[in-house]
Amino acid sequence: MSLAIPLETLARGFKPLDVASYLRLHGWRQQDVERERFSIWTKGDETRGDFEVMLPMQPAFSDFGRRIKELVETLEAFERRPNIEIIEDLSTPNADIVRARLAPDGDFDGTLPLEDGAHAFQEMRELMLAAACAAVVPKQVFTKRKPDRAMKYLREARIGQTRRGSYVITVLSPVPPLFMAANKEGLLLQEVEEEPFARKTVRTLADALTATTEGVQVAAASGNLDALTSGVARGVSANLCEAVFGLHEGSGERGIEFAFSWAPSRGVPPDIKSVQRLQPDSMLYLQEASRYFRQTSELEEVEVSGVVHRLERVQGDSGDATLVGTADGERRTVVTRLDGGNHHLAIKAYEERLPVRCVGELVKEGKSYRLKNPRDFGLLGESQ
């Protein structure tokens, strides 16, 4: 792919220590070094032999840009990746990168209709949010009340530049560097530190997409969704399945490829596949998995609002109230049991046609919904 700015010009902005960190964490070995001038790095390939690069150590050198350009071209040949992706990785040493390539195999001119593009970016947000929620605690379904830590992550992550080559949406997820110094007990910091939430989120997303791809293959062969439901512990959820399907729609229903680059300052997490493809014929399985998750899950902390459509006294000051309105943002008819003052307030709301709200755990019972453990029941608009 041609670059708008010549590679040699871009290379002048690179930092030698960042490039050295990238090489080390991608398996290159430093063979020779002349302090403050250059270092020589090598890496072998079973079928293509040894590769060698020279890393200049002073950006002030007149040939710094040219030497870095040669280094990038060697990495491009070795890794078999576009140089624009390698440039992004080298220039963002403290960020994990998620790339969603829409229509990876299709006849595609690198553009999207405006409506499809807006939809695709929204679904990318939902995908990252689903991963952040699963990084807090895995669930089959995440309601509209998302964990605070997951919402904070969305404010920290960044959208990178889009580019042609199908159509690539890029998300940058900043992470702190990993230090290797030993502490006073003799343990490396990487062995005792808690994984940064941003790294945990992207790692969860990569693993969830692997579980999704594998689950679809097993579901197609077995005729059941067990492999997808067992992937919930790895981050699979209705929200993730729906976001992937939404991206697929934005691609003109031509499939998606997800690729992950890991911050050179932190390294690649173990046992993670960094490239996953979901073909168009996978999408029916994702839709069915999402529907199954939503029908069988108990949704926590769901807000229900609407009008009292029916009241049925059970005994004393206890009765079932049928509310018609919205639950977790969807149009629903929901039955809940109210006691004491809440039941009396429901009677008033029914007689005067006043809207109400409450919070609880939403479960599907047959063709209807029931709100368990209702709380914060009150007239809509009144402070709770």
Residue 1 counted as domain residue: no
Residue of 212 and 90 predicted with greater confidence: 212
42 half-sphere exposure, CB direction, 13 A CA radius: 7
pLDDT digits (tens, 9 = 90+) for 211-259: 999 999 999 999 888 999 999 999 999 999 999 999 998 888 888 999 9
User: pTM of the entire structure?
Assistant: 0.75
Q: Is the distance from CB of 337 to CB of 320 less than 8 angstroms?
A: yes
Same domain, 255 and 143: yes
User: In this predicted model, what pLDDT tens digit does every residue of 98-109 receive, in sequence order?
Assistant: 999 987 765 566
Q: How many CB atoms lie within 10 A of CB 111?
A: 10
Is residue 184 over pLDDT 90? no
How do residues 304-343 score in pLDDT, each as one tens digit?
Answer: 999 999 998 877 778 899 999 999 888 989 999 999 889 9
| Same-domain status, 113 and 180 | yes
Residue 58: in which H helix or E strand, if any? none
The phi and psi torsions of 82 (rounded to 5 degrees) equal -60, 145
Each residue's pLDDT tens digit, 149-171:
999 999 999 998 776 667 889 99
> Residue 24's pLDDT is what?
84
**Where in the chain does DSSP place strands (E)?**
29-34, 38-45, 49-56, 95-102, 158-159, 163-164, 167-174, 256-261, 275-278, 299-315, 318-327, 330-339, 356-365, 368-379
Query: Per the domain annotation, does 384 fall within a domain?
Result: no
166 half-sphere exposure, CB direction, 13 A CA radius: 22
Domain of residue 339, residue span: 299-379
**Mean pLDDT score across all residues of the chain:** 87
Three-point CA angle 55, 30, 5, nearest 5°: 25
**pLDDT reading at 271 higher than 70:** yes
pLDDT score, position 186:
45
Categorize the per-residue pLDDT at 2 as very low, low, confident or very high, splitting at 50, 70 and 90.
very low
Domain boundary among 296, 311, 333: 296
Q: How confident is the model at residue 83 (pLDDT cuts 50, 70, 90)?
A: confident
Q: Which residue has the tokens 């590769």?
A: 51
Residue 104 lies in a domain: yes
